[in-house]
Each structure stands twice: as C-alpha cells, then as structure tokens.
Amino acid sequence: MGRYDEAGGIWSEVKGVYVGLQHGECAYCGRRVGKDPVDAGELDVEHYRPKSEYHLLAYHPLNYAVACIRCNRGLKRDEFPVAGVRMREGDDPAAMRAEEPLLLYPIGDIDEDPAD
C-alpha cells in the first residue's frame, strides 16, 4: 500500500474556493462557516476520503471539502464509512461509486444531491 507524505500545506490557498462551492456550509453538519473572516479559523479543508487510506486521492480536487473543526477533527477524523466494496487504490472519485459512501459529497454531481 502507498503512503501519503506532505512537505508543505496548500490548504489556505484553496479554502476560499471550497467555502464558495459549499455556500459557506460545513460538509457534514451544514453549519454556516467561512462567510465571516472570524470564522476562517473554525474550518478545515477536509479530505472526503481520508488521505491515510486513499493516498492516490490526496491532491484530487474532488476529494476536498470544507468542514467545521468540530466535525472534521472531532467526529469524522479518518473515518469513511461505506456500504459497498472499498476501493483504496482508485484515483478517480467519480469512478468509485461502487463504494456506496455513507457520507454525501457536497460538491459536484459525483454523488447524490445533498439537498435530496
């Protein structure tokens, strides 16, 4: 199995993009985050599928989302529950629907619409 190694962070550079795509809401609880500069420290750029298990997706743009610190660090952490067969060696999230993730991905159309 591969390994994820990061020399430097890029998250502050992409955080605003994902806040906008998610309409300022946490990917998991829906709490409003990131619209106020005071909130900027209260959210993380989150790896939807954990980089510790899905090393090929560590820098894939469809594997990022923003989450409040409570959800990301306190609840989700490195968890990624699936109903189907885990596909750790995949490198395209859109081709990994067979995993049947139990967490909805809040951006794009690779998953069910969270509003539904």
pLDDT in tens, 42-90: 888 899 999 999 999 998 999 999 999 999 999 999 999 999 999 999 9
pLDDT band at residue 39 under the 50/70/90 scheme: low
pLDDT at 4: 52
User: What is the rounded CA–CA span in Å between residue 93 and residue 61?
Assistant: 9
Q: How much of the chain exceeds pLDDT 90, in percent?
A: 48
Q: What is the CA radius of gyration of the chain?
A: 14
pLDDT at 71: 93
Q: How many CB atoms lie within 10 A of CB 56?
A: 16
Q: Distances in Å between the alpha carbon of 82 and those of 29, 57, 59, 103, 104?
A: 19, 16, 21, 8, 11
Q: Is 64 exposed, middle or buried (0-12, 13-18, 19+ CB in 10 A)?
A: buried
DSSP label of 38: G
User: What is the rounded CA–CA span in Å between residue 48 and residue 22?
Assistant: 13
User: Chain-wide mean pLDDT for the chain?
Assistant: 84
Q: How much of the chain exceeds pLDDT 70, in percent?
A: 78
pLDDT at 36: 60
**Is the per-residue pLDDT at 106 higher than 60?**
yes
User: What is the rounded CA–CA span in Å between residue 60 and residue 92?
Assistant: 8
**Is the per-residue pLDDT at 1 higher than 60?**
no
User: What is the rounded CA–CA span in Å between residue 92 and residue 74?
Assistant: 27
